[in-house]
Structure 1
């Protein structure tokens, strides 16, 4: 990752939304959260392997809806969007 590009973390602090040292991230690809990083620090391998349904106001279901992301086959550092859920 280039130092010139400051990545944003899903749910990150508005004053410092970038990745933090010592944390583990997955890149979200596609859907309403495309390009954000999901902080999976402290997650078990099983939890990381399942992906996540992340709350977002900009998905198909509006406020309170979720964007569903799952690890990419062959490259689990990327989580691909599977669709939106209520």
Structure 2
């Protein structure tokens, strides 16, 4: 297992710790599992979401949930 605390995603000159975004995302009641990773050949990261059973979670809903809690450069650009 890789220690995610030491991993950082570089985005437009800012460093974004994936573990911080993962902790926020996992607190969402309709998310049961999550991983935030850097996209290959791109500066931003992507959130891989495991929705809870029966969840009607949307990409827009997840992005809105995070955008209310973090500064602009930590907002999600892609949710899978």
TM-score range, shorter chain: 0.3 to 0.5
Q: Flag the structure with higher helix content.
A: 2
Q: What's the TM-score once normalised by structure 2's chain length?
A: 0.33
Q: Flag the structure with higher strand content.
A: 1
